[in-house]
Structure 1
């Protein structure tokens, strides 16, 4: 296996961390086939030397790749590539944005999970009706063959509004661009039809809604977190 090229701009820029930069470039090499499935990656020491960063940075990047399901580590056997995302992900994401989009999904898991929990606790009938209306709009979008980005975002905003906490609402509004990019990547690269992919996402939405409607706070949080993790996998891992 040939040595990878040195990192470009290895120092974190624009608020991005060193581990973001390393994560993205290892991700890119895996998706491009430079390090195909089954490849044993260089040691932490070797990668730290190659990328010009500390072993701590390498460990952080590899941890996120393990969470993605792209690499696995075994005592005494090192780290191997066990899965590969589509090589086209890097083409559809803006330069330097893959790690940022990934960070957005990580952030949303905690934030939106808590918003769903509060929505279920408060159990406001008018707010629940708004969530249901957003889901019905998504159902119509699926029937009409649309992409569903606006409807998807409307659902997440409706759940945030049902928390009756404006900080959650403003947070979701602040990440709508990243959500749209993720939806576009998933739609472009998915091996499934748009209708099938949207139907899967909306089944997850309806399950969240049902937990909110019945006031099951912890279940609502768990289902929202599971949905966002599934959405992340659909974008970055293709499953």
Structure 2
């Protein structure tokens, strides 16, 4: 049985070891969340979190209704590069709370200050995200990040943008886990796209209150999803 200290991290490391050793073979389906939880003597929550990280970093592939499969990569080399630490559920929620503080006001400022080029960058990110709505192979993290980054740039506040940039590594790590979860929930990618559109439309309309509210709803929904699935 795995010790309770840093359970998700230990589950992640153990799955990686078993993939590397061949116990969980390439191109084969991993045991289910329930089976892995029984193997490691833990609840399903840390198993789900570990699988999300493995999927986000490309070690396994999540298939809707079909579990997780070990991808045919150069596993020996790849696993050595997979150094993302597992964020605890509490840390992911705290990061989202930080984003809500930063990005709701950034959206309002962008409605007042964003240039045509920045609005165009938001629109282009949305086009890229729209193309991936029905693509089960991609989670859309680059397009998602590009949209939020364009909003932050549109706020025209160097300190706000610098703060966003300084947490970008942590931001991207959490985003990949969150979007990987979205891929397994029917209609969730469409919901994210629609929520982005409401933020974008409010910014283009020059309506700071609507932009603030739309961003707050978007991030609140993300927070609620993670609280439901991870906590």
TM-score by length of 1: 0.57
Q: Is 1:183 the counterpart of 2:175 in the alignment?
A: yes
Per-residue CA distance 1:33-77 (angstroms, 9 max, x = gap): xxxxxxxxxxxxxxxxxxxxxxxxxxxxxxxxxxxxxxxxxxxxx
What residue is the counterpart of 1:200 in the other structure?
191
The Cα of 1:122 is off from its aligned counterpart by 1.7
CA separation of 1:211 and 1:192: change in aligned 2, threshold 3 A: same
How well do the aligned residues superpose, as a CA RMSD in angstroms? 3.0
The Cα of 1:87 is off from its aligned counterpart by 5.4
Q: Is 1:105 the counterpart of 2:134 in the alignment?
A: no
Q: Would the aligned equivalents of 1:105 and 1:228 in 2 still touch at CA under 8 Å?
A: yes
| CA–CA separation in structure 1 for the residues paired with 2:5 and 2:196 | 40
The within-5 A match list for 1:1-239 is 86=45, 88-91=47-50, 92=52, 94=85, 97-145=88-136, 146-189=138-181, 191-193=184-186, 196-238=187-229
CA separation of 1:185 and 1:95: change in aligned 2, threshold 3 A: closer
Structure 2, unaligned runs of 5 or more: 7-36, 38-43, 54-84
Aligned to 1:237, what secondary structure does the other structure show?
helix
CA separation of 1:100 and 1:140: change in aligned 2, threshold 3 A: same
Q: Would the aligned equivalents of 2:115 and 2:154 in 1 still touch at CA under 8 Å?
A: yes
The Cα of 1:160 is off from its aligned counterpart by 0.5
| CA–CA separation in structure 2 for the residues paired with 1:97 and 1:167 | 28
| CA–CA separation in structure 1 for the residues paired with 2:158 and 2:135 | 33
| CA–CA separation in structure 2 for the residues paired with 1:90 and 1:218 | 35
TM-score by length of 2: 0.59
Structure 1, unaligned runs of 5 or more: 1-6, 10-31, 33-84
What residue is the counterpart of 1:77 in the other structure?
none
Tell me which moved more, 173-182 or 110-119: 173-182
What stretches of structure 1 move > 6 A for 4+ residues in a row?
none
What residue is the counterpart of 2:57 in the other structure?
none
How many residues matched? Answer: 159
